[in-house]
């Protein structure tokens, strides 16, 4: 968790940091995610202009992904991916949960039919529905 910050401590806006850390392609998308309630900062709600400090904890929801991120460094500029990845650390529980969800989606996808039914399969489906 975040410790109490001194007034002169460096800080960056939440939407700018999320953009610089490459969680969102544009700052506008980061702002929309924050406004939509997809981002929590230190177990509380977040606003786009809320200051982010080193040691803060983000909970990010992007589609099926749920990330738990600790801020390691601050940046207002979007740089290369290796530099952006040095700005944060994902918790072990978050990594494990994402891997488990990925494996689950892979299993569900393997059991689904490969695509749209062909003419013969459509006829069988129609016969099945008509018989009910």
Structure tokens at 21: 């850390």
Question: How does DSSP assign 44-109, residue by residue?
Answer: EE--TT-EE-TT-EEEEEETTEEEEEEE----SS---HHHHHTTEEE-HHHHHHHHHHHHHHHHHH
Q: Indicate the pTM of the whole model.
A: 0.75
Indicate the SS3 state at residue 70: strand
For residue 5, the model assigns a pLDDT of 56
How far, in Å, CA of 96 to CA of 72, rounded?
20
Burial of 5 (0-12, 13-18, 19+ CB in 10 A): middle
Spatial CA neighbour of 101 closest among 69, 71, 61, 70: 61
Read off the pLDDT of residues 58-95 as tens digits, 9 standing for 90 and up: 999 988 889 999 999 999 999 999 999 999 999 999 99
Could you state, in order of their start, the residue ranges of all structural domains in the chain? 1-90, 92-132
Mean pLDDT by 10 residues, the chain (132 residues): 59 94 95 94 92 94 90 94 94 93 85 82 91 84
Q: How far apart are CA 33 and CA 100, in angstroms?
A: 24
Q: How many CB atoms neighbour CB 102 within 10 A?
A: 12
Q: Which CATH class is domain 1-90?
A: alpha beta
């Amino acid at each position: 968790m975040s410790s109490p910050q001194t007034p002169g401590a460096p800080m960056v806006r939440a939407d700018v940091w999320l953009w610089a850390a490459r969680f969102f392609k544009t700052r506008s998308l980061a702002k929309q995610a924050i406004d939509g309630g997809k981002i929590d900062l230190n177990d509380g709600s977040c606003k786009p202009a809320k200051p982010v400090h080193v040691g803060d904890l983000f909970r990010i929801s992007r589609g099926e992904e749920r990330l738990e991120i600790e801020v390691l460094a601050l940046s207002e500029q979007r740089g290369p991916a290796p530099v952006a990845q040095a700005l944060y650390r994902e918790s072990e529980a978050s990594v494990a949960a994402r891997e488990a969800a990925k494996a689950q989606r892979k299993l569900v996808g393997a059991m689904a039919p490969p695509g749209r039914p062909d003419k013969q399969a459509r006829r069988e489906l129609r016969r099945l529905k008509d018989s009910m």
